[in-house]
Chains A and B, each alone.
Chain A
Amino acid sequence: MTDSATLQDDGLLAQRIRSGDRAALGEVYDRHASAAMAVALRIVADREGAEDLVHDTFVAIWQKIDRFDPARGSLRSWIVTIVRNRAIDRLRGTRPSIEIGEADERSLLRSGPNPTWESAMARLGGIQLRAALDELPAEQRQAVELAYFGGRTYREIATITGVPLGTANGRLRLALARLRERLSQTEAAPIGAGDER
């Protein structure tokens, strides 16, 4: 969960990193490395490789912190986006780069801001987010997971799942619409009922 206090603190930490404060990067790492590691590990399924990706991601954060714009999304979203892109690059055999590259820049446009998703992140824990994903029809959940964690295009998803292109694309659209509706209705879990994030 990313509450408003965390977002404010992240903003201050980003300012400190921008001023060259290495300890601030350490604090950002302590806050968000486990989320980044979870994404990397899910994608590359190799702990050592995932750790390399997490390391490279935070080096990139250090180098290119001036590219971070809080108006476009949270620091956590940015970190997760970068590590996801790098993990997908590795999965595809694309040469990994320690720089924040063009793909990362493009992904910034995809990463927000979006009040629905950011609000859900602020209110809900991982268990509730997983529950919302679990409620999707199986074929829609498969499609979004192939896209996000598998780095597959909707054309590839159509081939993999044996459906027409329009169907594969439609599943992604419907999945996000349903998720958005579900999350906007979900209340925060009572204290102790959510996860530890």
Chain B
Amino acid sequence: MSEMTHSQVEELAGAFALGALDSDEEAAVRAHLAECGEAHPEMEAALGAGIVMAESLDPVDPSAAVRDRLMATIERTPQAHRQAVAQPVRQSRRGWLDWLSPRVARPLAIAAMAAVIAVGAWSLGLQSQLNQRDAALRAVASAISGGQAAFRVEGNAGRGYVVDTPGRGAALVVTDLAELPPHRIYELWLLNPAGSPVAVGTLTSTDDAIAVVQLERDLSGFSIFAVTVEAERVAAPSSDPVILGVLGSS
């Protein structure tokens, strides 16, 4: 369909809002709206009208079996965004301050979560057994009782959570940790909103299925957690992060 004029688009506002345009017309309206700098008062007023039609209906409960089927389905269904969050880290050759750029922070912010966990509940899982490891991480991911915050972190070197326990400090719990090159260590960092990194610990062994490291600082005042690979403990990171996470609000 050829280009539409401003007035033609306005005339089709009702049909557009109710999904009553054929595909060519809809594409033409959409193209116009994307390019046109003028106001579209009728279009703006009409958008979203479908919800009124839906809400005018009497609610109808699906049978209980639908809910059961749904919960079984999602048990084996991955979420799309979870398969993509490590990508910026994997491809990154960025400077430290660039970690805070929207391009990097946004996908990570999507992954950042404010879940609560009871640390004691999964401390029994720290026995280097795969099933216990998985159970512990599931507990972190889905925990909703207790009073602590857990923030998802991940990257090329592994994945896990930074857990903040009031009065007990913060800890990194990480699984699937990649083997270190010879004579290298993992160094842990917290970054404040200005991008200044503070070293908060090291990790030298990757033998355990789950690694737990108590951070040397609590999370207050910091917005990013990161891990780098270093030759020795250093005061400022010398390489790009291999694990990264946003410390969102809890």
| A147 contacts B20, C-beta separation under 8 Å | yes
Complex Cα spacing A61 to B82, Å: 14
Q: How far is the CB of B192 from chain A (nearest CB, A)?
A: 24
Contact residues of B between 53 and 102, Cβ < 8 Å to A = 53-63, 66-67, 69-71, 73-75, 77-82
Interface size of A as a range:
35 or more
Q: Give every chain A residue within 8 A of B127 (Cβ-Cβ).
A: none
| A73 contacts B57, C-beta separation under 8 Å | no
Complex Cα spacing A145 to B57, Å: 12
Complex Cα spacing A130 to B73, Å: 35
Contact residues of A between 17 and 43, Cβ < 8 Å to B = 18-23, 25-26, 29-30, 33-35, 37-39, 41-42
Q: How far is the CB of B61 from chain A (nearest CB, A)?
A: 5
Known contacts A20-B142, A152-B20, A118 near B61 by CB under 8 Å: no
A4 CB within 8 Å of chain B: no
Known contacts A73-B48, A111-B48, A149 near B67 by CB under 8 Å: no
Q: Give every chain A residue within 8 A of B52 (Cβ-Cβ).
A: 117, 120-121, 129, 132-133, 179, 183
The stretch of B108-116, B172-180, B214-222, B238-246 in contact with A is: B108-116
Q: Give every chain A residue within 8 A of B42 (Cβ-Cβ).
A: 173
Looking across the interface, which residue of chain A has its beta carbon closest to that of B12? A169
Known contacts A58-B70, A151-B19, A176-B14, A126 near B57 by CB under 8 Å: yes
B51 CB within 8 Å of chain A: yes
Complex Cα spacing A59 to B110, Å: 19
B207 CB within 8 Å of chain A: no
Q: Give every chain A residue within 8 A of B18 (Cβ-Cβ).
A: 144, 147-148, 172, 176
Complex Cα spacing A84 to B12, Å: 21
| A147 contacts B15, C-beta separation under 8 Å | yes
Interface size of B as a range:
35 or more
Known contacts A77-B48, A117-B49, A180-B45, A20 near B141 by CB under 8 Å: yes
Q: How far is the CB of B117 from chain A (nearest CB, A)?
A: 12
A107 CB within 8 Å of chain B: yes
Looking across the interface, which residue of chain B has its beta carbon closest to that of A72? B48
Binding site for A on B (CB under 8 A): 11-22, 25-26, 30, 42, 44-63, 66-67, 69-71, 73-75, 77-82, 110-111, 113-115, 141-142, 144, 152
What would 18 A/B residue contacts be, using CB atoms closer than 8 Å? A18-B113, A19-B115, A35-B57, A37-B60, A38-B58, A50-B60, A54-B66, A74-B51, A110-B17, A110-B19, A110-B47, A116-B45, A118-B48, A126-B55, A133-B52, A148-B53, A173-B11, A176-B45
